[in-house]
Amino acid sequence: MRKGIKGQAGATRQHLITRHLITRHLTRQHLATMALLLGTAALPAAAAAREAVDLILHDGQVLTVDAAFSTRSAVAVRAGRIVATGGEDLLEKYSAAQVIDLKGRTLMPGFIDTHVHPIPIGPSDVNPLVAHSIVEIQDMVRKKAAELGPGKWITGYGWQEAALAEKRNLTRADLDAAAPDNPVLLVRAGAHSATANSLALKIAGVTRDTPDPKGGLIEHDAMGEPGGVIRERQDIVARFIPPPTWAEMKAPMIRTLKGFLALGITSFHDASGRIDDEPAGAGGIAPATPGAEVASGDMTFARARALYAEMGADLPRVTMYISYPGAERLKAFPHHTGYGDDRVRLGAIGENLVDGGFTGPTAWLLVDYKGQPGFRGKGRYTDAELQDMVDNANRLGWQLGLHCIGDAAIVQTINAYARSLETIPDPAHPGDANGPGDRRWFTDHFTIMPPDATMATMAKDHIWIAQQPNFLYNLENRYVALLDDWRLAHNNPVGTPVHKFGLFMAFGSDNLPVGPLVGLYAAITRKGPSGIVHGPEEAVTRPEAIRAYTANGAFLSREEHDKGTIEAGKLADMIVLPFDPLTAAPETFLNSHVDMTFVGGRLVYSNS
């Protein structure tokens, strides 16, 4: 090598450096050092300064969930968006103040839950969601009664008989024993039924002679007295509960939303949205007293915008359903689906209930419930009423996302959708390449698979599905008790709608439970807690399930160009898993957790 160099008498110093680089495979550091020693200021292009970014994550398995479901090992982020994905060579191209070594863990897009209800724990609430027995719930209620004093309402959400040691529904007698001097109403997980104690029933005027409310059912005990459980229409009791104020519920709501981040949810569709507190004459309801709050402590669209303006960087992004307020109020509201920004935006009109659910149970079926001759559940609307709601929303440019769980409810909903899509031009997106087929309407839940003809109509009219595969896991005992063999095997279907009919599907949870890992487990295994596989043909592959919980959720809200995948230019909404979701044992999904959550490139949750 020395002879070669000496023989190049006319070579420039730069040429000598380049020869050394090629021959000895010198690193940039070697090159820079040699350049200084030889006194040259001109360096090759390879040694130019690295481009500055804010964050680099590397040495991991990066599931981009792009069209090819490609895998990378590193990601660079700047100003909240992804700059580049690639291999470890990104460290040579970019420099960042924050560099995170993933140490082989999985980085993937954040989950997008297309149907969830943020349910904060307020001052009058207990939390039966975490209870393992009725005795434990009674203890919670007893302590809350002591805290609040006699006469004060005690409320709460989330009990479910399958999780309780006694394996039965909560009753009026159970609550009477814990708090005889306080009215109590505890809503079952899923919110399709609730249990009231004697004092609450007395306040509501519910007796053995009270007729079932429209769309609901009052259960009775062996003596003919109300047993405490009210299916679907617990509002006949709840309307007597003094609502908390937003001032009381704001902090609990923030805690609830931050809890979503710990589950890897970077965006969600709030299925509880309303416009009641908009200005009167602009879609809102005039308060009974000037200056008073119109709505309860729920997060309305107006409150969400104010909350996110204050601290949106620390919260998951939200698309808000709007409960249909009636034709006149909806027409007066100046906005429609898509209004907002990447933090808070308007979604579909929904989830107005076309039928009930299996936690009632009052889901509307085409056949009798197993063991209940003549009982098929109940629909909420006449055909004319449903058509009027759909048509009014359509004319005003709204997306539709109505709740329909039973196959009879799905048939009624799809018929109404199809008639409206065929007769009313799309005022919101007149220039869409797909014309009326790109309105992105969907059915919420789609629990019992309808006849093939209905699914063929959905395929023709591009009607989609917001599915909750976790229902199969959480409600297995209900389905086994209530459904015939065919409907049990095809409950909460994914495989047939997607593979046979080509229907578009996005995943969510509807709080049963909120954690997406349970939904992924159910979608790929079709197993309930019993370990029994229900309808293996309804399972999907792991990449399909992951896409349905990420990219497809973004598409549902017309945000596919902004989020849902890890690609250059998109928002850096990402999560880190301590396992490989493509190869890990299925039970890992039930037993694992999320390590880190990023929203806009900002670390908003760490399980360190």
Q: What residue ranges do the domains of the chain occupy?
A: 2-47, 51-109, 124-238, 350-540
pLDDT reading at 14 higher than 60:
no
Give the contacts of 587 (CB within 8 A, at least 6 positions apart).
521
pLDDT, tens only, 93-123: 999 999 999 999 999 999 999 999 999 998 9
The answer to which of 32-36, 201-205, 558-562, 576-580 has the lowest mean pLDDT is 32-36
Cβ proximity of 464 and 441 under 8 Å: yes
pLDDT of residue 25: 37
Nearest in space to 107 (alpha carbons), one of 79, 66, 68, 72: 72
Q: Which residues pair with 155 in a beta bridge?
A: 125, 185
pLDDT for the residue 436: 52
Q: Is the peptide bond before 373 cis (omega within 30 degrees of 0)?
A: no
Side by side, the strands of the sheet bearing 265-270 are 111-116, 265-270, 317-322, 344-349
CA 126/CA 157 separation, integer angstroms: 8
**pLDDT tens-place string over residues 43-77:** 344 445 899 999 999 999 999 999 999 999 999 99
Provide the phi-psi class of 459: left if phi over 0, else alpha when psi is between -120 and 50, else beta. Answer: alpha
Instruction: For Cα atoms 369, 129, 200, give the angle at the middle one, nearest 5 degrees.
Output: 75
124-238 topology per CATH: Diaminopimelate Epimerase; Chain A, domain 1 (3.10.310)
Identify the CATH number of the domain defined by range 51-109: 2.30.40.10
Position 224 confidence tier, pLDDT thresholds 50, 70, 90: very high
Is residue 160's pLDDT more than 70?
Answer: yes
* CA distances in angstroms from 406 to 483, 601, 606, listed in the order given: 11, 41, 40
Q: How far apart are CA 546 and CA 589, in angstroms?
A: 12
Asked whether residue 38 carries a pLDDT value surpassing 60, the answer given is no
pLDDT tens-digit map of 331-375: 999 999 999 999 999 999 999 999 999 877 789 999 999 999 999
Matching fold, domains 51-109 and 124-238: no
Alpha-helical (H) ranges within 90-224 are: 90-93, 134-148, 172-178, 198-204
Architecture of domain 350-540: Alpha-Beta Barrel (3.20)
- In percent, the amount of the chain with pLDDT more than 70 equals 90
HEC assignment per residue over 348-407: EECCCECECCCCCCCCCCCCCECCECCCCCCECCCHHHHHHHHHHHHHCCCCEEEEECCH
Q: Write down the pTM of the prediction.
A: 0.86
Distance from C-alpha of 299 to C-alpha of 302, rounded to nearest angstrom: 8
Inter-residue contact 559 to 117 (CB < 8 Å): no
